[in-house]
Amino acid sequence: MLSDLQKNKLSYFFKLIDYNHDGVIRSSDFMGIAENMVVIKIATLGDIETQQVRLTMEKCWKILTNSKGKLVHEINYHELLQIAESQFINNQATNCKQYLDRIVKVLFKYFDDNNDEHLSSFEYMSLLASFRAEFRHAKVSFELLDLNKDGLISLEEFKTAVWEFMTSDNQESPGNHLFGNYEQSRWVSN
């Protein structure tokens, strides 16, 4: 069973991704994020990199939906809860985490504009913008995700944050704040 904390985070995540709030997420929602990612770096991006961004977001969609090996066109909130519970929370020993980590690494490198292998607060804000998350709590979230308090988010810190966001049942896990404050989003809970 998912805890209220896990459900609250997944509800926040679902609403972030379901941009038109029609109650289902589709691959087009992930492609919308890809388009945002491209726009944010339009000045420096070549055609190949643009295509890679789209492929990466397509992979994110597949990670979420290919759990039973069959093609899924859309998922609703309750299906997301089931997937999160079966794939991420109950099967932590499988290669699910390694697969997710690989995608997370690609995303991390994409937003690491100056290639210093860390995300600055500005680079982190680009990520929030791409996922259409609010900025209001960005400073607080950034400081929480920066576990060693060196003023930057390393790849390991980022991987930890993503995994905690998807799975943690601990109210104190910094990764709960990956996309800002999931408790004070612009949406009323449920």
Nearer to Ca ion, 44 or 114 (CB): 114
Among 100, 112, 125, 174, binds Ca ion (CB under 5 A): 112
CA dihedral 31, 35, 36, 40 (to 10 degrees): 150
Among 86, 148, 170, 184, binds Ca ion (CB under 5 A): 148
Nearer to Ca ion, 18 or 112 (CB): 112
- Assess 49 for contact with Ca ion (CB under 5 A): no
Minimum distance between the CB of residue 107 and Ca ion, rounded to whole angstroms?
13
- Assess 150 for contact with Ca ion (CB under 5 A): yes
Nearer to Ca ion, 131 or 142 (CB): 142
Question: Binding-site residue total for Ca ion (CB under 5 A)?
Answer: 8
Minimum distance between the CB of residue 157 and Ca ion, rounded to whole angstroms?
5
Spatial distance between the Cα atoms of 66 and 6, rounded to a whole number of angstroms: 21
Nearer to Ca ion, 31 or 106 (CB): 106
Please name the amino acid found at residue 149.
K
- Assess 107 for contact with Ca ion (CB under 5 A): no
Minimum distance between the CB of residue 170 and Ca ion, rounded to whole angstroms?
20
- Assess 44 for contact with Ca ion (CB under 5 A): no
- DSSP per position, the chain: ---HHHHHHHHHHHHHH-TT-SSEEEHHHHHHHHHHHHHHTTTT--HHHHHHHHHHHHHHHHHHHGGGSS--SEEEHHHHHHHIIIIIIS-TTSTHHHHHHHHHHHHHHHH-TT-SSEE-HHHHHHHHHHTT--STTHHHHHHHH-TT-SSSEEHHHHHHHHHHHHH---TT-GGGGTTS-GGG-SS---
- Assess 116 for contact with Ca ion (CB under 5 A): yes
Among 114, 172, 186, 188, binds Ca ion (CB under 5 A): 114
Q: Which residues contribute to the site for Ca ion (CB under 5 A)?
A: 112, 114, 116, 118, 146, 148, 150, 152
